[in-house]
């Protein structure tokens, strides 16, 4: 699935990666288990079967809204057994974040978004772990509590990028120089 994502600033990124490490150290699935260079804590703005790279110039000016302060809320779950549960930290929605989301969708036009990324149904979050069983969820909650993971966490959303799974590349969309990063051979 192609996506547009908001990345966290270095301090916020490190805090989420610490939670990934806690889960891994407890022998649980974790987003930190993915070794690909594209794997980073992020908030998905749009996910669709395809994103036209010709839209990049329309998206670049939207990065002027960044950095954007935000807050990650308490732990939450998506999904259902037997496929597996997804442990996330939801993003507390602000008018600024909703406005950025709407501008991104206006710039892209079209349809075909994954439902939880469409305006009015968007569920912004940062994923901690996927494909958990109910028992693993209970163990994850204990591990994070024992590591003194905060109930909520202030973060900064600092950069916009486009993920292209067909070429396994990430394209930064500002601020900073625009360049396509090397293919990610390890997957996401």
* Domain at 157, CATH number: 3.90.1140.10
User: 167 lies in which domain range?
Assistant: 2-172
Domain count, the chain: 1
- 143 found inside a domain: yes
- 113 found inside a domain: yes
- 187 found inside a domain: no
- 67 found inside a domain: yes
- 51 found inside a domain: yes
Rounded-to-integer distance, Cα 52 and Cα 164, Å: 10
Q: What is the pLDDT of residue 187?
A: 46
Work out the burial of residue 43: count CB atoms within 10 Å of its CB; fewer than 13 is exposed, 13-18 middle, 19 or more buried: buried
Q: What is the pTM of this model?
A: 0.90
- 91 found inside a domain: yes
**What are the average pLDDT values for consecutive 10-residue runs of the chain, which has 188 residues?**
94 96 97 88 94 88 93 94 91 95 89 85 95 96 93 93 90 63 47
Q: What is the pLDDT of residue 186?
A: 44
Rounded-to-integer distance, Cα 86 and Cα 129, Å: 6
Distance of CA 111 to the CA centre of its chain: 20
CB proximity list for 45: less than 8 A, separation 6 or greater: 3, 4, 5, 6, 100, 101, 104, 117, 122, 160
DSSP state letters, 104-163 = HHHHH-S----GGGSTTT---EEEEEEEE-HHHHHHHHHHHHHTT--SSEEEEEEEEEEE
- 182 found inside a domain: no
The pair of three-digit structure tokens given for residue 129, joined into one six-digit string: 């772990």
- 24 found inside a domain: yes
Q: What is the pLDDT of residue 179?
A: 43
């Amino acid at each position: 699935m192609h996506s547009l994502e908001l990345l966290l600033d270095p301090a916020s990124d490190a805090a989420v990666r610490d939670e990934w490490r806690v889960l891994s150290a407890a022998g649980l699935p974790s987003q930190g288990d993915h070794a690909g260079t594209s794997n980073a804590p992020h908030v998905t703005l749009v996910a669709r079967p395809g994103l036209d790279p010709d839209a990049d110039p329309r998206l670049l000016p939207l990065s002027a809204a960044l950095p954007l302060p935000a807050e990650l809320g308490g732990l939450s779950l998506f999904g259902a057994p037997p496929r597996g549960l997804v442990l996330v930290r939801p993003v507390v929605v602000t008018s600024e974040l909703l406005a950025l989301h709407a501008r991104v969708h206006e710039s892209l036009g079209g349809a075909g978004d994954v439902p939880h990324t469409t305006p009015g149904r968007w569920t912004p979050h940062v994923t901690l772990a996927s494909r958990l069983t109910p028992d693993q969820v209970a163990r994850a909650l204990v591990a994070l509590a024992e590591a003194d993971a905060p109930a909520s966490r202030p973060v900064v959303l600092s950069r916009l990028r486009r993920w292209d799974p067909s070429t396994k590349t990430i394209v930064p969309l500002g601020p900073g120089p625009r360049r396509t990063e090397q293919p990610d051979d390890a997957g996401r």
